[in-house]
Chain A
């Protein structure tokens, strides 16, 4: 019996089942080694407070991913006012713990303007990390650290390095605080990231972060202003009360304005202006734009912020109306974009273009572009001649192109004399003044004297012909056809140019013997009904 047993025992030498403990050993060793390799470095971060942080639970998050876990919370060595949070990083996340990495605690934030990190209400606070660089090569080069000082606030709402930083100064902090929004056309484009007194303690330095997607705005000259909580404007026809958005009043709000024309002045430190107008004016000045003052009597056809147009191009824009000191006229300012600023000179004439123009003479109806109908605006016109009418500081705005032209006519250089006549005949404003049947000027105005007996006709002679008018010059009406019948000479038909027949005109001649003196402006002459024969030569 026993022999049989011994034979059986010897027959099986190595069972294939021995593979099982070997496999178990290999699997276990692999699991342990792998698990050990997967747990990354231990780091320690100093914080002011560890409210909401739970050892063994609170994760370290990076872009929504858990990259580590708090292992222990203790009071910092030699710093009883601070706590030390020990974290274990996950494998592969060690690169986050390089010199310059920022750690901060994310807790729920509930404000008027924003409610953020709401998820942490339920999940509890977590620690966030921002690596010192997003470039893999830079990150590799940085030395490894295992001791960090935690931040009190996040470097920005979202860890981003391509955000632009704006620095600007102001004399008062008012209600601005870290996190106050920066708005461009009511879009939030960034926020104030830090507020500090400067070293001389005389002004406040603000640092703001502009989101990368709006950073293209910074390629233009920008200006910042602080919107007033309540803006009562009594200068316009209507009393206008503007209330800033309530959130802006509570949270602080900075407005960003952009001049889309011109290059930003890099050396200039931005200032926080108290109003849009002030900021825009200052930026216009800094970037080489021109601020033009206008004075108008009637602002019914102009809107605030209307464009200034020259040859169908917008070259600037108008600002707000303000009542002039005299209480009658209205002053307003316009900004001419830097690249058009050379267009504005003392010869510039501005007029409002009405939406529809009816030219009665030619039965020509002209409608402005729809956009212009909506926005209104003023046009710029240039005098052809070099006229100095000494009003370069404040430009009047004429109500129509015709008026502006009329004004320009009145500004032409040359001689102006007054003729008195007893009949108007066919003379009209604009009728030519002829010398040897050649037009040298025109009729500027006609008026009836208050006594009702005589008419006065103002005529203008071009500058280069002005010397032709002498004290002894004779003026006569050149309108129509003059026929005289005399026995001696028979029927005589005397005509001026065809144009003067139709339009009427005034001719003049200067007799050779009367070259005594040149006429002065405002010299008075008599308008003869017809020419003496000897004048005509």
Chain B
């Protein structure tokens, strides 16, 4: 365990561990501003999570991709697209899209909110919390695959009147969902998860 009289601190930039009791404000190695915790930003993840949560509805209800062809315009939502893939027996692609577009953002948001809500009192162990945090951080970027696919399609498939692919309103909302969940994770300081535990131990 850590010595109680010490106030250990880690530089977020260069990961140097030192004692902050000397009222240092900057990292002695890299010169970055030092803080024990981002306490003045502890509500940021919550704000971003809520924002992402609200955008999650239009992202799923509105068409994400609009295919303008000579047969007319076809707009498909995320779920609609997955259903089409499954109907056409393209289970693998359907599953990948389902994972990347529906499940991952959802899990991310649920997991993050779980971590945020259980910050002060814990029903699961710190190890599990850490695992969950790592998982959320890992899967986060995969949601961008949808936006990436639409961007590539929109760029490649532009044959005038024959066929054109455009992003729908849902794509904008979905982009915001992914963006804000990533921001939420980014601003989530995992150290706060353990603070309470430490306090409890101190008590």
Known: A24-B176, A28-B173, A31-B173. Contact between A8 and B54, CB under 8 A?
no
Q: Nearest residue in A to B42 (C-beta to C-beta)?
A: A9
Which of B39, B53, B57, B71 has a CB less than 8 Å from the CB of A32?
Answer: B57
Complex Cα distance, B54 from A28, in Å, reads 6
Count residues of chain A with CB under 8 A from any CB of chain B.
32
Q: Are B72 and A15 in contact (CB under 8 A)?
A: no
Whether A66 and B47, one on each chain, are in contact in the complex, defined by CB atoms closer than 8 angstroms, is no
* Interface-side segment among A54-62, A97-105, A148-156, A278-286: A54-62
Partner of B70, one of A9, A15, A23, A123: A123
Q: How far is the CA of A168 from the CA of B156 in the complex (A)?
A: 58
B54 in complex: contacting residue of A25, A58, A123, CB < 8 Å? A25
- B40, A21: Cβ atoms closer than 8 Å: no
Q: Does B73 contact A (CB under 8 A)?
A: yes
Check if B55 is an interface residue, CB within 8 A of chain A. yes
A24 B50 Cβ-Cβ under 8 A: yes
Residues in A neighbouring B169, C-beta threshold 8 A? 31, 35
Query: Quick one: given A1-B36, A20-B47, A20-B48, are A122 and B54 in contact (CB under 8 Å)?
Result: no
- Selected contact of B43 from candidates A15, A28, A59, CB within 8 Å: A15
Tier of interface size on chain B: 20 to 34
Is A24's CB under 8 angstroms from B62's CB? no
A15 & B173 in contact (Cβ 8 Å cutoff): no
- Bound complex: CA A58 to CA B72 (Å): 7
Chain B residues in 8 Å Cβ range of A363:
none
Min Cβ gap B97→A in Å is 18
CB B169 to nearest CB in A, in angstroms, measures 7
Nearest CB of chain A from residue B66's CB, rounded to whole Å: 13
- Give A66's nearest chain B residue, CB to CB: B72
Indicate if A124 sits at the interface (CB-CB under 8 A): yes
The docked-state distance in angstroms from the alpha carbon of A57 to that of B71 is: 7
- Contact at A8–B39, with CB atoms within 8 Å? yes
Option from A11, A28, A123 in Cβ contact (under 8 Å) with B57 = A28
A241 within 8 A of B: no
Are A17 and B37 in contact, with the CB atoms below 8 A? no
Is the contact region of chain B dominated by helix, strand, or loop, or is it mixed? Answer: helix
Cα A126 to Cα B74 with chains together (Å): 14
How near does chain B come to A435, taking the closest CB pair, in angstroms?
98
Q: Report Cα–Cα, A427/B169, bound state, in Å.
A: 111
Asked if B51 is at the interface (CB within 8 A of a chain A CB), the reply is yes
Give Cα A31 to B60, complex, Å. Answer: 12
Residues of B within 8 A of A27 (CB): 54-55, 58
Contact, CB under 8 Å: A28 / B58: yes
User: Roughly how many angstroms separate A59 CA and B70 CA in the complex, as a whole number?
Assistant: 11
Measured CB to CB, the nearest residue on chain B to A124 is B71
The verdict on A21 contacting B39 (CB below 8 Å), with A31-B62, A32-B57, A57-B71 known, is no
* CA distance in complex: A537, B184 (Å): 147
Residue B13 at the chain A interface, CB threshold 8 Å:
no
- Give A15's nearest chain B residue, CB to CB: B43
Contact of A5 with B47 in the complex, beta carbons under 8 Å: no
Is residue A18 contacting chain B, with contact meaning CB distance below 8 A?
yes
Interface flag for A136 (CB, 8 Å): no
* Beta-carbon contact of B71 and A21 below 8 Å: no
Q: A56 to B48, alpha carbons, bound, how many Å?
A: 36
Residue B61, interface by CB 8 Å: yes
Contacts A31-B58, A35-B62 given: A8-B40 contact, CB under 8 Å? yes
Which of B44, B54, B72, B199 is the one whose CB lies under 8 Å from A17? B44
**A–B pairs, 7, beta carbons within 8 Å:** A8-B39, A20-B48, A20-B50, A21-B51, A24-B54, A57-B74, A123-B71
Query: A35-B61, A123-B70, A123-B72 provided; 20 other pairs, C-beta below 8 A?
Result: A1-B7, A15-B43, A20-B47, A20-B50, A20-B51, A21-B50, A21-B54, A24-B50, A24-B51, A24-B53, A24-B176, A31-B169, A32-B57, A32-B58, A35-B58, A35-B62, A35-B169, A119-B70, A122-B70, A122-B71
| Chain A residues close to B by CB (< 8 Å) | 1-2, 5, 8-9, 11-12, 15, 17-18, 20-21, 23-25, 27-28, 31-32, 35, 54, 56-59, 66, 69, 119, 122-124, 126
- 7 nearest CB pairs, A to B: A21-B50, A24-B54, A24-B51, A25-B54, A31-B58, A21-B51, A59-B72
